[in-house]
Amino acid sequence: MRWFYTKRAIPTGMYCKEHQDVELVRYTHPVSTNYDPMIHGELTAEGLQLSSMAFCDQCEKDGVYQKQQQSRAEQKANSDFINHSKYGKYNLLKTHSLVGQKSLWFARFNTFRVNGLEEQNVLNQAKRIAREYTEGKRFNTVFVGGAGRGKSHLAMAILQEVNENLKDKKFSTLFMNISELIREIKNSWNYSDTKAEEERLTTLMRSVDLLVIDDLGTESTFSKDNSWIQGIIYNIYNAREGNTIITSNLTGKEMKTAYDDKIVSRIMEGSKNSVVKFEGITDKRKSK
């Protein structure tokens, strides 16, 4: 079988990036019954069809192509499970979120400490927002206020509430802390396919039914000239039609200073009645 393919290997004049002394080849095979020159590529002088991909003999021996094929199969299986299985959708929050603080997994409405009218007010608004998402309404939400006021807690509580109430309806929720997201993407740059993890995460964030982007405006990850990070956020927001919750320590004026105007416009779009200000609340982390 190996001899059969070797006799039909066509040198390309190009060389493998990993094995720079190995010339890439394309293989010939009988013409497909549904052959379309615009899709399947050219034919040889003998009337055989050329493979659209070029292959490295050493990569083939190392099992690189087999691993890539297995990886694609695993990704498709995971995607099918998430998109078509009731349990895949329900479990997405727990299996794919990046939360930063592990204690957030225990965040519920009944665990939010109320010490005054201000806390009761934001809790009531969060419950109302969760109820409206459960009812199928589509809109954005913005939680703004100082650090430690309970924004992340109530954002997670909304997800947990909606996720539980809609678990039989293939509804998906996801919590993404912005610092953890950027760290995850940057860590993936150590691997050969630097775009794979970024594409996986951003695709997930674009397609999930209800998304929390937590702690937008973290100084360690954002700056006015950091176009790469801002581009990720804009592309995610641009693809979504509501159902996105933002938590941030920045005021509206500070957001306009820190971010491109298009991003601020997208964030505020569709959230006119759902901007919750965590004012008059003390830092809960200091009061523990």
- CATH number of the domain residue 270 falls in: 3.40.50.300
* pLDDT at position 103: 92
User: In this structure, are 58 and 93 located in the same domain?
Assistant: no
- At 124, list the tokens: 């009531």
> Is the pLDDT score of 164 beyond 90?
yes
User: In this structure, are 95 and 235 located in the same domain?
Assistant: yes
261 occurs within a structural domain: yes
User: In this structure, are 113 and 150 located in the same domain?
Assistant: yes
pLDDT band (50, 70, 90) for residue 72? low
125 occurs within a structural domain: yes
Alpha carbons within 13 angstroms on the beta-carbon side of residue 209 total: 21
- Write the burial class of residue 200 (CB in 10 Å: 0-12 exposed, 13-18 middle, 19+ buried): middle
> Is the pLDDT score of 5 beyond 50?
no
For range 192-209, the mean pLDDT = 79
240 occurs within a structural domain: yes
Q: Which residue has the higher pLDDT, 268 or 101?
A: 101
All residues at 6 or more sequence positions from 269 whose CB lies less than 8 Å from its CB, including other chains = 140
77 occurs within a structural domain: no
Containing domain of residue 42, as a range? 2-62
Whether this prediction's pTM lies above 0.75 is answered by no
193, 185 contact by CB (below 8 A): no
Beta-strand pair 210-216/173-177: parallel
> Is the pLDDT score of 1 beyond 60?
no
pLDDT band (50, 70, 90) for residue 205? very high
Considering 62, 94, 113, which residue would you say is the last residue of a domain? 62
Backbone angles phi, psi at 110, to 5 degrees: -80, -5
42, 24 contact by CB (below 8 A): no
- What is the average pLDDT value for the chain, to the nearest integer? 79
Task: Give residue-wise pLDDT tens across range 245-278.
Answer: 999 988 777 777 777 777 788 777 777 778 999 9
User: In this structure, are 269 and 147 located in the same domain?
Assistant: yes
Cα–Cα dist 29/8, whole Å: 8
pLDDT band (50, 70, 90) for residue 175? very high
11 occurs within a structural domain: yes
Q: Kindly report the three-state secondary structure assignment for every residue of the chain.
A: CHHHHHCCEEEEEEECCCCCCCEEEEEEECCCCCCCHHHHCCECCCCCEECCCCECHHHHHCCHHHHHHHHHHHHHHHHHHHHHCHHHHHHHHHHHCECCCHHHHHCCHHHCCCCCHHHHHHHHHHHHHHHHHHCCCCCCEEEECCCCCCHHHHHHHHHHHHHHHCHHHCCCEEEEEHHHHHHHHHHHCCCCCCCHHHHHHHHHHHHCCEEEEEEECCCCCCCCCCHHHHHHHHHHHHHCCCCEEEEECCCHHHHHHHCCHHHHHHHHCCCCCCEEECCCCCCCCCCC
Backbone angles phi, psi at 145, to 5 degrees: 160, 170
User: In this structure, are 54 and 95 located in the same domain?
Assistant: no
For range 11-39, the mean pLDDT = 72
Which residue type is seen at 251?
T
User: In this structure, are 198 and 162 located in the same domain?
Assistant: yes
* pLDDT at position 241: 83
User: In this structure, are 101 and 207 located in the same domain?
Assistant: yes
User: In this structure, are 105 and 226 located in the same domain?
Assistant: yes
pLDDT band (50, 70, 90) for residue 133? very high
80 occurs within a structural domain: no
For range 129-158, the mean pLDDT = 95
For range 71-89, the mean pLDDT = 58
* pLDDT at position 33: 57
285 occurs within a structural domain: no
User: In this structure, are 124 and 256 located in the same domain?
Assistant: yes
Cα–Cα dist 252/263, whole Å: 12
Domain count, the chain: 2
User: In this structure, are 18 and 157 located in the same domain?
Assistant: no
- The number of angstroms, rounded, from the C-alpha of 91 to the middle of its chain's C-alpha atoms is 15
Q: Which residues pair with 23 in a beta bridge?
A: 15
262, 241 contact by CB (below 8 A): no
- At 234, list the tokens: 């804009």
Cα–Cα dist 35/42, whole Å: 10
- At 179, list the tokens: 């610092």
User: In this structure, are 54 and 92 located in the same domain?
Assistant: no
> Is the pLDDT score of 44 beyond 60?
yes
> Is the pLDDT score of 3 beyond 50?
no
